[in-house]
Amino acid sequence: MGDPEPSQRAVPFFFSRLFYPLVFFGSIAAGLTAVARGWNYGLVSGVLIGGTAVSLIVLEAIYPAKPAWRMTFASFFKRDLKYIVAGISTGALISYLGALAALKVASYRAGFAGDLPLYFSVPLAILVFDFFQYWTHRWMHETNWPLGSLMWRIHAGHHLPDAVYVLMHPAGHPLNDLIVRQGLNIGLIWFIGFNADTVLIFSLITAIGGLFSHFNLDVRAGFLNYFFVSTELHRFHHSADLDESKNFGIITPLWDIIFGTFVYRPGRLPQRIGVTDPVQYPPSNRYWAVFMLPFRRAAQ
Ligand SMILES: [Zn+2]
Ligand SMILES: [Zn+2]
């Protein structure tokens, strides 16, 4: 049970073992070069994140870990596109409001982290962000009080699809993004006073890691799974089996390891992806129904 099904083509060693560390650490190196040389941060992130997304989408189409989880033309046009368009439009609005909030916060921030060297400030940003993210995420999944049911209905959209692939990454409710990503980003990162260099490297790690988290390819990251959340850990978070749908961390599994929710099963895939009881939820391709989930009285 749960063993990988044979792919249509055996994935070459390079793509299963070396590609992830090369792209992940290569992007961090490129980000550090951008800081040292004063390149445009927006352009550098756009090229690295866009280039990674396109390469992963092509690779998982050729070497899917599970062919049944592949993105199809139908799933793209009937489901994923809606989340991407909604994500971009709400993302633009949220970023604008975020920038305004940041300007406000900047005048109050203590700024103690602003002068820290990157090798100290980036790990600190990851640990602080993921600590709050871990507990918010776990609260959404496991706790009924306070507001547990509402929090779950905000988050459930990300778990409704019965597959995991790169373009599943943006699937979910805009409020989920607002709370988990922007709220924590603005509230914590800026308030603590991290500088733009730290935010660039931190954002690259989060974005590239997020793309690999939903990659439908048999990635084997080995010992890196104890330091960063990637394909092998986050895929189990999407399991329909509640005993293994743990791994609440987004960037690092450290808090999962400390608080006992770390699930690492090398060489295995979850049997089924999605929610435990799909009949209680709208299909993931009905965007409006998923959008309205938090505003319904009972979904569980
Ligand atoms: Zn979740
Ligand atoms: Zn996910």
pLDDT score of 69: 81
CA–centroid distance, residue 134 to ligand 1 (Å): 10
Q: pLDDT for 58-77, tens place per residue?
A: 999 899 998 888 878 787 87
Nearest ligand for residue 151 CA = 1
pLDDT score of 144: 77
| Containing structural domain, residue 223 | 13-295
Nearest ligand for residue 213 CA = 2
User: Is 50 exceeded by the pLDDT of residue 206?
Assistant: yes
CA–centroid distance, residue 191 to ligand 2 (Å): 27
CA–centroid distance, residue 205 to ligand 1 (Å): 19
Nearest ligand for residue 247 CA = 1
The answer as to whether 182 is a domain residue is: yes
**The token pair that represents 155 in the structure block:** 């988050």
pLDDT score of 190: 67
**The token pair that represents 182 in the structure block:** 């922007």
The answer as to whether 6 is a domain residue is: no
User: Is 50 exceeded by the pLDDT of residue 191?
Assistant: yes
CA–centroid distance, residue 69 to ligand 2 (Å): 14
Q: What is the pTM of this model?
A: 0.87
The answer as to whether 2 is a domain residue is: no
The answer as to whether 4 is a domain residue is: no
To the nearest whole number, what is the mean pLDDT of the chain?
84
Least confident of 81-95, 122-136, 268-282: 81-95
The answer as to whether 253 is a domain residue is: yes
User: Is 50 exceeded by the pLDDT of residue 299?
Assistant: no
Count structural domains, the chain.
1
- Nearest CA-CA partner of 70 in 286, 293, 273, 295: 273
pLDDT score of 10: 86
The answer as to whether 143 is a domain residue is: yes
CA–centroid distance, residue 237 to ligand 1 (Å): 7
pLDDT score of 111: 61
CA–centroid distance, residue 238 to ligand 1 (Å): 7
CA–centroid distance, residue 15 to ligand 1 (Å): 27
Burial class (CB in 10 A: 0-12, 13-18, 19+), 224: middle
Mean of pLDDT values over 190-199? 79
The answer as to whether 8 is a domain residue is: no
User: Is 50 exceeded by the pLDDT of residue 2?
Assistant: no
pLDDT score of 97: 62
Encoded amino acid at 191, one letter? F
CB 42 within 8 A of CB 207: no
Q: pLDDT for 29-65, tens place per residue?
A: 999 999 999 998 888 888 998 899 899 989 998 999 9
Mean of pLDDT values over 208-227? 94
pLDDT score of 40: 87
Reported as a pLDDT band with limits 50, 70 and 90, residue 246 is very high
Reported as a pLDDT band with limits 50, 70 and 90, residue 7 is very low
The answer as to whether 283 is a domain residue is: yes
pLDDT score of 81: 78
Reported as a pLDDT band with limits 50, 70 and 90, residue 1 is very low
pLDDT score of 119: 94
Judged by phi (left if over 0) then psi (alpha if -120 to 50, else beta), residue 71 lies in beta
